[in-house]
Amino acid sequence: EKGSIAIIDLTQNTVTGTIGTGYYVSNLVFSGTNLLATNSGSGTVAVIDTNSLQVTRTVNTGLKWTPFSGQVA
């Protein structure tokens, strides 16, 4: 099962939806109007448009982290 990022309404303190990403989301970084989500288990970075809350592309980094070994594959 792929990972996801929760969309939170801070005025209501509720989760209003999710954005599907790759496996093991490990870092989030803003770049302009995009949110970049590194997916260490997939070896990818999901580029999320913060206006539409949709993944607009996925960049393959070629690096995967194996969660139980702690090693990059």
Q: State the pLDDT at residue 2.
A: 78
Q: State the pLDDT at residue 63.
A: 81
How far is residue 1's CA from residue 10's CA, in Å, rounded to a whole number? 27
Contact between residue 15 and residue 5 where contact means Cβ atoms under 8 Å apart: no
Q: What is the pTM of this model?
A: 0.81
Residuewise pLDDT in 10s, the chain (73 residues): 578 999 999 999 999 999 999 988 989 999 999 999 999 888 999 999 999 999 999 999 988 766 665 555 5
